[in-house]
Amino acid sequence: MQYRTLGRTGIRVSPYALGALMFATSMGNAPEESARIVHKALDAGINFIDTADAYADSEEVVGKALKGRRDDVVLATKFGRPIGEKPHAQGASRRWIVTAVENSLRRLGTDHIDLYQLHRPDPATDFEETLSALTDLIRSGKVRAIGASGTPASDIVEAQWVAERRGLARFHTEQPAYSILNRGIEREVLPVAQRYGMGVLVWGPLGQGLLTGRVRKGGPNDLRRAGRVRHLGDERRLDVVEQLVPLAAEAGLPLTHLAMAFTTAHPGVTSALLGARTMEQLDDLLAGLAVRLDDDLLDRIDEIVPPGTDIGVLDQEYRPPALDDPALRRRPLAA
């Protein structure tokens, strides 16, 4: 395993990280099976696990799985998404952060979190408010490093400037979506993160399932299944998959290995999240750890999906408020 430094934190992490969304019991796994997957990943050299307080009981499952092995892991979790129905139980205010971190520490069964991340931008809260609270958590020893997820490039820059001007801890990492199908972050997010020496942990490297090759046009998993999930039923994305399948076959690779190796080939990417729910899925992805794509193969991928291009959108992608609220993009009529 060739470990990489997580930004400028000095923390060494594996190029594959284990995403824990699928460990929530509501996803169908028994906690004992999830623990076996965690242990298999650790035994293979993966030392980076990412979860979130919004992933149902995932934090509890991860915490129990890590008993006796906590020191072997760089443990990351997230806050900010709504928890329950209470209006204050979300966002990036100091009020919520100090509550959310205690809840996560309790569920994870640990006294510190290695990487604590803002799950999605919170336009209602100033960066100074958020970074001030997170700085206090670092000074208290409850958190080792801080990061964010789904942040537009302009907000990444603003947060870095606020931290510098106010003498606060800065975001050390960013967690965006990235795959062959979604390359939009190559335009600004990845270059900005590199400029500020941030580590980048990418989610969705398999296009939320499309780059496994299990959903094909005209196949048994065609739009009858895909129609229930927007991104799986996008004809544009399916057309790209149909071009990638023979390319992977020609290279002698499973499509999953091609997709994962593509994401970790970018010099701005530190780790890519594995969303394995079964031991078989984990074994398949671990078998591709050593795969490296040569320039010719990367050039051919560029021909199919040009750099900086998003083919459709992901269901969990962050949308700025002005895209959903017409009042934020329309001047009121004169009285």
Domain ranges of the chain: 4-328
Are 24 and 55 spatial neighbours (Cβ–Cβ below 8 Å)?
yes
DSSP string, 153-176: HHHHHHHHHHHHHHT-PPP-EEE-
In Å, how far are 118, 145, 222, 318 from 315, measured between CA atoms? 18, 28, 18, 9
What confidence score (pLDDT) does residue 318 get? Answer: 84
H or E segment at 238?
Answer: helix 235-250
Q: Quick one: fold of 4-328?
A: TIM Barrel (3.20.20)
91-117 pLDDT per residue, tens:
999 999 999 999 999 999 999 999 999
**pLDDT of 220 over the 90 cut:** no
Report the helix count and the strand count for the chain, using DSSP H and E. 12, 10
Task: Give the three-state DSSP class for 128.
Answer: helix
**pLDDT of 231 over the 80 cut:** no
Could you confirm whether 55 is annotated as catalytic?
Answer: yes
Which of 95, 13, 23 is CA-nearest to residue 58? Answer: 23
Which residues have CB under 8 Å from 136's CB, separation 6+?
A: none
Q: 43 φ, ψ to 5°?
A: -65, -30
pTM for the full predicted model: 0.93
What confidence score (pLDDT) does residue 1 get? Answer: 83
Are 271 and 4 spatial neighbours (Cβ–Cβ below 8 Å)?
yes
Query: Which of these is catalytic: 55, 116, 178, 318?
Result: 55
Q: 7 φ, ψ to 5°?
A: 60, -135
For the chain, the first-to-last Cα distance in angstroms comes to: 66
255-278 pLDDT per residue, tens:
999 999 999 999 999 999 999 989
Residues in the chain: 335
